[in-house]
Amino acid sequence: MTTPAMSLQHLVKVFGNTVAVGDLSLDIPQGSFFGMVGPNGAGKTTSLSMATGLLIPDRGTAYVDGIDVWKNPSDAKQILGVMPDGMRVFDRMSGPDYLTYVGMLRGLPKDVARKRTAELLEVLDLTDVGKKIIADYSAGMAKKTALGAALVHGPRVVVLDEPFESVDPVSAGNIRQILQAFVNNGGTVVLSSHVMDTVEKLCDHVAVINQGHVIAAGTTAEVAGDMTLDERFAELVGGRHLEGGLSWLGN
Ligand SMILES: Nc1ncnc2c1ncn2[C@@H]1O[C@H](COP(=O)(O)OP(=O)(O)OP(=O)(O)O)[C@@H](O)[C@H]1O
């Protein structure tokens, strides 16, 4: 059997009294376009943070291409491109400087990092940002910059937390195309999203997370079965509460 692009084994994270992730195991096949879906607070961000070296697990292990993320973080980070939820650092830099800087941090020569930055800004429709610092970008511009930073060093596995949130439809289309091309070239994409329609159209594999556990995983067709993914998701996690409620709304 080929080594999974990413393997999460018995991950656990507890915050105070909250078990954010409880014994979560998941294999993500090489070359897959993998969607992680789950209701708010299900543990997606916490799992992906532990999987990518951003948050220390209380227990369990994460492997990327067979490399232990926590034992060999620098090797794992060469393979991984990560777009975390929210822009956490370096927002006093301009987007172009930031992308070049991240490329160099990941070992690219300056001229290569600059060339890739220019190409990424072009496809992400960010060529006219000038010297404006990232802190002054719109949410969508910052998200696209973060995506560029995840891709600039040419990773084999890209992990994206909510890549389409706050992004305009044209940019979302560009991002989808970039990610699809990446997968067509043999890369693996792991993304979390609340937009079931997007996940169903884009992802060939999906995992449904609820209360810190994987409750269904497989190909998107297997998980959805004879329903739409949205219907299957509602069946698995419940949570449609409107019947008879909020009758005052709009009256
Ligand atoms: N730093 C933290 N401190 C305390 N509790 C946290 C922290 N991070 C996450 N949690 C809790 O862990 C649980 C899982 O949160 P997480 O952000 O992983 O969920 P999620 O599936 O990504 O949710 P969403 O879809 O709303 O982004 C939630 O109950 C959340 O309140």
User: Per the domain annotation, does 101 fall within a domain?
Assistant: no
Buried b (16+ CB within 10 A) or exposed e, 108-141: beeebbbebbeebbebbebeebeeeebeebeebb
pLDDT of residue 2: 87
Mutate to test the pocket of ligand 1, among 13, 26, 45, 210 (most ligand atoms within 8 A of CB): 45
Expressed as residue numbers, the domain containing 223 is: 6-84+157-237
In-domain check, residue 191: yes
Residue 164 lies in a domain: yes
Q: Which atom of ligand 1 is nearest to the CA of 39?
A: 25
Q: Report residue 198: phi and psi, to 5°.
A: -65, -45
Best residue among 44, 165, 208 to mutate for probing ligand 1, ranked by most atoms within 8 Å of CB: 44
Looking at residue 243, what is its pLDDT?
65
Predicted pLDDT of residue 88: 62
pLDDT of residue 94: 93
Say what the pLDDT of residue 155 is: 95
**121 in any annotated domain:** no
Domain count, the chain: 1
> Does any domain span residue 33?
yes
The beta strands (E) that lie in 40-166 are given as 59-64, 67-68, 80-83, 157-161
CATH of the domain at 211: 3.40.50.300
**Is 148 a member of any domain?**
no
Q: 60: which residues sit within 8 A by CB, 6+ positions away?
A: 8, 9, 10, 11, 12, 23, 24, 25, 50
The span from the first CA to the last CA of the chain, in angstroms, equals 60
Residue 124, domain member (yes or no): no
DSSP 8-state assignment for residue 91: T
Closest protein CA for atom 29 of ligand 1: 41
Residue 189 pLDDT? 97
Output the six-digit token pair for 53.
């070296």
Which residue type does 7 have? S
Q: What is the mean pLDDT of each run of 10 residues along the chain (251 residues)?
A: 93 95 96 95 94 95 96 93 76 92 93 95 87 87 90 95 84 87 93 89 95 95 93 84 71 70
Ligand 1 atom with least separation from CA of 162: 27
| Binding site membership of 49 for ligand 1 (Cβ less than 6 Å) | no
Q: Which residues contact 84 (CB under 8 A, 6 or more apart)?
A: 48, 49, 52, 54, 146, 161
Q: How far is the CA of 116 from the centre of ligand 1 (A)?
A: 34
Cα–Cα distance measured from residue 35 to residue 158, given in angstroms and rounded to the nearest whole number: 12
In a domain, 111, yes or no: no
